[in-house]
Structure 1
Amino acid sequence: MAVRITPATVTDIRQVLSDHARYWGERDLRHLHLLALVQEFGETCLVARAADDGGHEGEGGGVLGYLIGFVTPDRTGYVHLVATRDDARGTGLGRELYAAFTEAARRQGAVRLKAITSTGNTGSVAFHRSLGFEVRTEEDYNGPGETRVVFRRALS
């Protein structure tokens, strides 16, 4: 599937939120979709659409996947959220979004990438491993008793 990856807009994220279950299934992660991140880090918050979509919603149209990320002052490209819609899974779209984010982060001076997930998210762990990330479980990462899996990868 040919896709077009562009900077995300608030309207794009609102579309994602209105169809949240198609990206996240039973997991309710709406509270993590911070519109301020899209407003402030527009070049590293990305959406993917079918190349011939033109932004139309409906079956096969609209946002097929998205990545919300930013570059930190220590030059880390941090991926806050990445998701593909249920009808776009298994197409390589997550990899394409990561590749586009990596280039955008590099342009802003990033020298490494980082992301985190919950310990039970085996799909995310496998995905990040396949992208060459170092995977480590860190106790209390998000506060007492809040263990997270942390992904890190240097950029060459």
Structure 2
Amino acid sequence: MIGAMGIEIVQAGVADFHQVLADHPRYWGERDLRSLHLLALVQEFGSTCLVARAGDGIRGYVFGFVTPGGTGYVHLIATRDDARGTGLGRRLYAAFAEAAERMGARQLKAITSVGNTGSIGFHRRLGFEVRVVDDYDGPGRDMAVFHRALPLGTS
């Protein structure tokens, strides 16, 4: 589907995955999160790994999957530095939610570090509930955990 700004949100392929890694600083700045980018997600959960493509490349992406218990888990979501503030992150989440619902998801989940105030604010604006879970990612690694009911039109 082609939307605003001539951006099409489509299923990610292997070439898209490699392009995202090649352009990693455009999405994540100084933070090196390449180790969190798992090609297996794109290969095994393709319908919930999406890229927002325009004439000048990939403007954003979301990689996730649906758990056997019916949770659409967003592993990574990012927008390119020149696409921030355009609503693209919201559109990517909506496209992921639609794909996850088609696969039987009843809720969405995501996590981030407790210091990532930008991500926490973004998820709150999308209607996610957030709570800090002690030791979520191992001893002393507390994480902010987000939950949101589906469909997105409800709370």
Give yes or no for TM over 0.5: yes
The question of 1:20 aligning with 2:24 is answered yes
Aligned to 1:129: 124
Match of 2:150 among 144, 151, 155: 155
**How many pairs does the alignment contain?**
147
The alpha carbon displacement at 1:2 in A equals 3.1
Aligned to 2:114: 119
Q: Secondary structure at the match of 2:85?
A: coil
The TM-score, its normalising length taken from structure 1, stands at 0.93
Percentage of identical aligned residues: 71
Give a deviation string over 1:51-110, Cα, whole Å, max 9, x none.
Answer: xx2xxxxxxx11100000100000000000000000111100000000000000000000
RMSD over aligned Cα atoms? 0.7
Distance 1:147 1:11 in 2: 34
Structure 2 counterpart of 1:49, one-letter code: R
SS at match of 1:64: strand
**Structure 2 residue 28 is the aligned partner of structure 1 residue 33:** no
Q: Moved runs in structure 1, 4+ residues, more than 6 A?
A: none
Secondary structure at 1:63 match in 2: strand
TM-score (norm 2): 0.93
Alpha-carbon distance in 1 for matches of 2:75, 2:143: 13
Q: State how far apart, in whole Å, the 1-side matches of 2:130 and 2:123 are.
A: 8
Question: SS where residue 120 of structure 1 aligns?
Answer: coil
Structure 1 residue 75 and structure 2 residue 70: aligned?
yes
List gaps (5 residues or longer) in structure 1: 54-60
Distance in 2, Cα, partners of 1:135 & 1:67:
19
